[in-house]
Chains A and B, each alone.
Chain A
Amino acid sequence: MTTLSLTKVNKTFGATHALRDVSFDVAPGERVALLGHNGAGKSTLMKIILGLFDADADTGGVQVVGAAPGSAQARRQVAYLPENVAFHPALTAREQIRYYLRLRGEPVAQADELLERVGLGHAARRRIGTYSKGMRQRVGLAQALIGKPRLLVLDEPTSGLDPVSRREFYAMLDGLAADGASVLLSSHALTEVEARTDRIVILSGGTLVANDSLANLRRSAALPIAIQVTAHRDSIDAVAAELGGTRHNGKMVSLSCSHDDKLARLGQVAALGEVIEDVEVLPPSLEDLYSHFSQRSPS
């Protein structure tokens, strides 16, 4: 059974189409990254999943943990972390988390443990008004962990976090996913999404333009692979002439080739023997893939 199922979701605000026929599923334990430019419809889609507002009437269907979005059953099992999460500045993190625990019917004694888990144990009794953005984000994470949610909807969860905290955050997500929770997260930090999610969904102008694992997206995009050859300064001209690439900075030659030609090209490089100092193969980055898919006109 899927945790989240979206079928032809449509949403218009006045004359603008915020979402157009968006369909995809998220299975239990799956971590899905939702990517797209600002205004591509990510937050709108998340708010529809959360039931904060309804999709248009011509929508095929939205099922969240087997219930209607925003229903009592869905709300009990879905956690949300809004973009730029905010709290009342007069409350301490401990008081805020205890409030959320009571709303979910969980024992308030968990508050300290939750804050400890996100690294805020030392600041739990300080008012959130004195917190940095990163610390507020951690309070937001702590509340999203309450009560073993089956679906976590996280809007830019790592914005404002330093690299170490980001790694801790993704380790925490791995743990949740291993326990069967589904994660739908949006992010601008593509490199971290690359290593830490099972599937990537790309929205462009309200339309779904990609929905697959990273490896499959790479294959279907068929973007050229870059090969960088480093050679001796003396022989670089000969190497460039032989391989037919572009020379730059005195001792490097850049080649590009398709996925199928990769081995043949590397064979040519290897055949040059000792004049070659180093070879680097650079597959298309997620940035490249992302711009490829989000610029492609929706089919």
Chain B
Amino acid sequence: MTGLFTPILAGAGAEFRIALRNRWVVIAVGVMALFATVLSATGSAPTGELGADRLSVTVASLTSLAVYLVPLVALLMSFDAVAGELERGTLSLVLTYPLARVELLLGKFLAHLLILALALAVGYAIAAGAALWADPRAAAGLPALWRLFWTSELLGATFIAIGYALSALARRPGAAAGLVIGLWLALIVLYDLGLLAAVVADSGGRFTTQVFPWMLIGNPADAFRLYNLAASEATAAAAGIGGAANAIPMSHALISILLWPLAALGFATLAFRKVIP
């Protein structure tokens, strides 16, 4: 008989195998490993004078990198999920099987989360290894690295689910690809620029004190950055948004990081329900 999670696990197994064959696992792991290596090699500025250990500094640079890279990798993995199956014609058959649509999504979600976790683990392990090798005090930064790992995974989860939602809304893989790139640009790149411009124009008025912190918290990528930088105070100053980070309680950022994946998954399920194969 089928267990409660059998359909989800079956879907995750098939999806992971497909990602292995399509080289997606290798690409994701390779990209993270490459960037972690480059960061470790170039981020070897003298740090002893700042009082921070080598790994904590690496975590700060990895955070700034992950804000861009993790959502991108997540969206590229997920944009094909619904639209690709629709186009290949595989969706109508599997939807006649005894499983709910949300179970189909959760199976893919589990596989994509696992791939992302593999990529993050390899990349961050390389960075940690390099830091520990160069600085014996670097072990002090391990909690920060662990925090970076699981928050990166949650950030990835949000964007994987958003990718599913856009995939279901777009119906065609080409349109879905365009949508996810557009969303990445808007939410990760332009959002911060826009906020910055607004803050400058406002010059310390109501927007800066009342609205801006919430807009920062509301964006999953900014919440991720705030949480990680605020948590490692030693490097917050160096990262440039320390002021904002101090104005917002860390717990708010954490709540945003935790709620976003659920909200995105709910949105994806609703969008998928509207798809007629």
State the A residues within 8 Å of B (CB): 47, 50-53, 72, 75-76, 78-80, 82, 84-88, 90-91, 95-96, 99-100, 102-105, 127, 140, 143
Known A86-B88, A103-B7, A105-B2; contact A52-B14, beta-carbon cutoff 8 A? no
Cβ contact within 8 Å between B90 and A86: yes
Cβ contact within 8 Å between B96 and A50: yes
Cβ contact within 8 Å between A104 and B97: yes
Interface residues on B, range: 20 to 34
**Among A51, A76, A88, A99, contact of B13 (Cβ-Cβ < 8 Å):** A99
Bits for B79-109, please: 1 = Cβ < 8 Å to A, else 0.
0000000001110111111110000000000
CA separation between A278 and B223, bound complex, in Å? 91
Between A and B, 28 residue pairs with Cβ closer than 8 Å are: A47-B92, A50-B96, A52-B277, A72-B98, A75-B96, A78-B96, A79-B96, A80-B96, A82-B89, A82-B93, A84-B89, A85-B93, A88-B14, A88-B18, A88-B90, A90-B18, A91-B14, A91-B17, A99-B10, A99-B11, A102-B9, A103-B6, A103-B7, A103-B94, A103-B98, A105-B6, A127-B21, A143-B93
Query: What is the predominant secondary structure among interface residues of chain A facing chain B?
Result: mixed
A77's nearest neighbour on chain B, judged by CB, is: B98
Is the C-beta of B1 less than 8 angstroms from some C-beta in chain A? yes
Q: Which residues of B (9-57) have their CB < 8 Å from a CB of A?
A: 9-11, 13-14, 17-18, 21-22
CA separation between A90 and B25, bound complex, in Å? 14
**Among A80, A102, A143, contact of B10 (Cβ-Cβ < 8 Å):** A102
Is the C-beta of B247 less than 8 angstroms from some C-beta in chain A? no
> Which residues from chain A contact B6 at a C-beta distance below 8 Å?
102-103, 105
Shortest C-beta distance, A257 to chain B (Å), equals 48
> Which residues from chain B contact A84 at a C-beta distance below 8 Å?
89
**Among A75, A82, A140, contact of B97 (Cβ-Cβ < 8 Å):** A75
**Among B1, B88, B96, contact of A88 (Cβ-Cβ < 8 Å):** B88
Cβ contact within 8 Å between A52 and B18: no
